[in-house]
Amino acid sequence: MTTPEASRVEAGARGATRVADRVVAKIAMQAAREALRASSPADGPVRANARAKASVHRQGGNGLGQAHVQVDVDLDYPARIGSQCAEVRRHVRERVEHLAGMSVRQVAVSVERLHGPQSSDVERVR
């Protein structure tokens, strides 16, 4: 059995957990998809397979540091692009901070493609 005194170890002596950058990127990517799927109908239709990809750059010497997250998304058009990007930015920051336990200094959202109502797998006629 352990005594209460022996089981109390200072926080710094217990070690640290470091979440890999690729894991943080996956969290950010999933959060971006969640935000796109949850867009309000006023923002226009949202595809069920909302595309997003993310990359993370860490700054800081300790195990956690501060994350700079880059998220690339595809959006349907017409839509309120600014409000959708703001929602993606907010949700990604919230989820990464909560799940990875690190602060997010910046979330940059880039729109890679806009899908119009006529864009599909069908080729357009010239």
Helix (H), strand (E), coil (C) string for 47-96: CCCCCEEEEEEEECCCCCCEEEEEEEEEEECCCCHHHHHHHHHHHHHHHH
The tokens describing 53, both together, are 């990809």
pTM of the model: 0.74
Q: What is the pLDDT of residues 92-123, one digit of tens each?
A: 999 999 999 888 999 999 998 888 877 555 55
Distance separating alpha carbons of residues 47 and 61, to the nearest angstrom: 40
Q: What is the pLDDT of residues 29-79, one digit of tens each?
A: 999 999 988 875 554 555 545 677 788 887 765 556 788 999 999 888 888
For residue 120, is it left (φ>0), alpha (ψ between -120 and 50) or beta? Answer: beta
